Chain A
Amino acid sequence: MNTVSIKSNEHGINVNVDQSPTDLSKGSDESLVRLIAEFRSEEALALILDRYRERIYRTALKVTNNHNDAEDVVQEVSLTIYRKAHSFRTDSKFSTWLYRLVTNEAISRLRKIKRERTVSLDDYMPRFEDDGHHAERPVVDWSQEVEKKVAEKEIQSIIEKAMQELSPIDRTVVVLSEIEELTNPEIGKVLGLSVLAVKGRLHRARMFLRAKLAVQLGYQAG
């Protein structure tokens, strides 16, 4: 088991672990957060940020769609890790805690700015007859032709615009699921939602994106 000793010097508190700096860099995320919480170790913070800065930035950028906001989120989250390391529960996964900090910050930033308008997803959901069958028939299978019919850049633009029309939480669910590949229970933990709510939001967001692509291809949304 590692031992930790603390020495004061002119630069403040110095944390020594019975490991070389190289060994410290091999420490688990959870052990580094403990060092930050207990000894205010800036070295441990720097190591955590080395590991996660890019992921924090990427997730923040996908949620905010703005490079400056994403940079701000990285800064703010770095400070929050330092300040709130003590609130990290060691029985939970560090990445889940980190995603929570990142998405909270990104979503709250979006809400403050109120930069975007979200659309009602209901307008893009499939419609059904009273007997439960598709109202708009036939449903066209455009899955094999989309990339032949529409240029890559245009598909990208349709998806990016549609993503911006989702609410901040729905967008975050899509980012965590499709890009970060978190499971639905993990997303639920990050966002404080039930698994059922995560699935519902993800399903509706996917159907919305699907409808947006269908309409751009000249087909019915449903």
Chain B
Amino acid sequence: MAGRPKSKNKLKTVETCRDATSLLLEFLSEELDPGTNSEFEKHLQICPDCVAFLNTYKKTMELTKSFLREN
């Protein structure tokens, strides 16, 4: 059936820290659609708690990779 192709990624709202936290993995792996990505970044601009959470989440990934690969 012809019609508008379905968008694989729906625009998600990022109004709260809960929303942002649930999208962290996809944000870091650059899987968010451009609209949601821009919402996510807007939230980061006004929320130092989410910036701190994001930085420590990234640091944890980095340390996990580094220490698990060493041994």
Q: Footprint of B on A, CB under 8 Å? A: 62, 126, 128, 131-134, 137-143, 146, 155-156, 159-160, 163, 174-175, 178-179, 184, 199, 202-203, 206-207, 209-210, 213-214
* Chain B contacts with A in 2-30, Cβ cutoff 8 A: 15-19, 21, 24-26, 29
- Asked if residues A159 and B64 are in contact (CB atoms below 8 Å), the reply is yes
Q: How far is the CA of A51 from the CA of B47 in the complex (A)?
A: 48
- Asked if residues A213 and B63 are in contact (CB atoms below 8 Å), the reply is yes
Chain A contact residues, majority secondary structure: helix
> Chain B, 50-61, contact with A by CB distance < 8 Å: what is the 0/1 string?
111101111111
Name which residue of chain A comes closest to B70, CB basis: A156
- Asked if residues A206 and B68 are in contact (CB atoms below 8 Å), the reply is no
Q: How far is the CA of A184 from the CA of B25 in the complex (A)?
A: 11
What is the size, in residues, of chain B's interface with A at 8 Å between Cβ atoms? 31
User: Beyond A134-B49, A155-B63, is A142–B19 a contact (Cβ under 8 Å)?
Assistant: no
Contacts of B51 in A (CB 8 A): 141
Q: How far is the CA of A159 from the CA of B69 in the complex (A)?
A: 12
- Asked if residues A128 and B24 are in contact (CB atoms below 8 Å), the reply is no
A174 to chain B, nearest CB (A): 7
Q: Footprint of A on B, CB under 8 Å? A: 15-19, 21, 24-26, 29, 48-53, 55-61, 63-65, 67-71
- Asked if residues A210 and B55 are in contact (CB atoms below 8 Å), the reply is no
A178 CB contact (under 8 Å) in B19, B26, B59, B65: B65
- Asked if residues A133 and B64 are in contact (CB atoms below 8 Å), the reply is no
User: Beyond A138-B49, A141-B51, is A155–B21 a contact (Cβ under 8 Å)?
Assistant: no
Contacts of B67 in A (CB 8 A): 155-156, 159-160
- Asked if residues A199 and B17 are in contact (CB atoms below 8 Å), the reply is no
User: Beyond A155-B67, A156-B67, A199-B25, is A146–B59 a contact (Cβ under 8 Å)?
Assistant: yes
Contacts of A206 in B (CB 8 A): 25, 57, 60-61, 64
- Asked if residues B59 and A143 are in contact (CB atoms below 8 Å), the reply is yes
- Asked if residues A207 and B57 are in contact (CB atoms below 8 Å), the reply is yes
User: Beyond A133-B16, A179-B69, is A199–B52 a contact (Cβ under 8 Å)?
Assistant: no
- Asked if residues B17 and A132 are in contact (CB atoms below 8 Å), the reply is yes
Contacts of A184 in B (CB 8 A): 29
Q: Can you show 15 pairs from A to B with CB atoms below 8 A apart?
A: A62-B68, A126-B17, A131-B16, A132-B15, A132-B16, A134-B17, A139-B49, A142-B56, A143-B56, A143-B58, A146-B59, A179-B65, A184-B29, A202-B25, A213-B56
- Asked if residues A210 and B56 are in contact (CB atoms below 8 Å), the reply is yes
A159 CB contact (under 8 Å) in B24, B49, B63: B63
- Asked if residues B17 and A210 are in contact (CB atoms below 8 Å), the reply is no
Contacts of A179 in B (CB 8 A): 65, 68-69
